[in-house]
Amino acid sequence: MGNAYEMMAVADNCPGYLPIYDGFQSSTGEPRNKSCRNCLNFEKGICTINYYDKVVKGLDQT
Q: Tell me the pLDDT tens digit for each residue of 20-35.
A: 975 655 555 554 689 9
pLDDT at 60: 77
- The span from the CA of 52 to the CA of 54, in Å, is 6
The pLDDT value recorded for residue 62 is 53
Q: What's the structural domain count of the chain?
A: 1
Nearest Cα to 52, choosing from 19, 15, 5? 15
Residues 6+ apart with CB under 8 A from 34: 8, 11, 12, 17, 19
Q: Does 61 fall in a domain?
A: no
Residue 62 lies in a domain: no
Query: pTM of the full predicted structure?
Result: 0.77
Q: Note whether residue 39 is domain-resident.
A: yes
Strand partners, 47: 42
Domain, as residue range, for 18? 4-54
